[in-house]
Amino acid sequence: MMPEPFGDRLLAAFEARVPMCVGIDPHKQLLEAWGLRDDVAGLESFARTCIDAFADQVAVLKPQSAFFERHGAAGVAVLERTIAAARAAGALVILDAKRGDIGSTAAAYAEAYLERHSAMFCDALTVSPYLGFGSVRPFIDAAQRNGAGVFVLAETSNPEGPQVQRAAVAAGMTVAQHIVNEAAEVNTQFLDERNSTLGSVGVVIGGTIAPGGVDVRRLRGPILVPGFGAQGATVADLARLFPKECTVIASTSRDILSAGPERGELTQKAKTVGSRLAEQRGD
């Protein structure tokens, strides 16, 4: 029997939990702000606090793989435990790793994160399509087999992004729009076959981008929007950038994590931000 698709699980999580994504970003400055050492023990304590504060309340958690990988094999082991603990508590986990390669290498990355037998199996993975959208097909195939999702970088908020993402391709379409359209085609085919509501191929669009970059109305999948909160994106920006019918996953890290290290204060901050988002969507 095919597992329940990620898109359906995401909609259910948004109904039952705080409808947002909290990033788990244990960078050096934040560890120090929490009174923790910048080592594996500090990393483990930070991650455990985040799980205790958010995993039974928030719909989606998003560990940033790089901040775990920088501690070597022991840090990756903490990441494995963090993913497993978050999922065991009922949160969906999007691993922010931005993987991208071709052929067998892409398939190996997909096996590492999107096959259920993997120690780092997560509910969804961020991927880069800038070797061509076809290069992410192994990730999409693995995700669909395992009830997982992928979030494809489309339009990012870094200042260098528009040089590539807003460059024109055939018929004057931007590269970012081409990526969104390709994702939409995959979702349409999958949804028609499975009779589901929301596709499992999402896109990543920064919350602080200039308007007019991409049209997402045909996507039929979720939109992961980093940059909400401390990086400057607001509830008004979400309404400005995305039609109301879109499933938008607003993602924030520093804005909420700065309330730590006390578990109760972290949980309350997430609930407060989540309430603002729900009001904006009219839930």
List residues with catalytic annotation.
98
Whether the bond between 19 and the residue before it is cis, its omega within 30 degrees of 0, is no
Nearest to 207 by CA among 168, 187, 234: 234
| Distance of alpha carbon 246 from alpha carbon 120, whole angstroms | 29
Indicate the Cα dihedral angle 177, 178, 181, 185, nearest 10°.
-170
| Cα 253–Cα 113–Cα 132 angle in degrees, nearest 5 | 90
Q: What is the dihedral of CA 42, 120, 250, 148, to 10 degrees?
A: -170
36 in helix, strand or coil? coil
On whether the CB atoms of residues 47 and 24 are closer than 8 A, the answer is: yes
Secondary structure letter of residue 118 according to DSSP: S
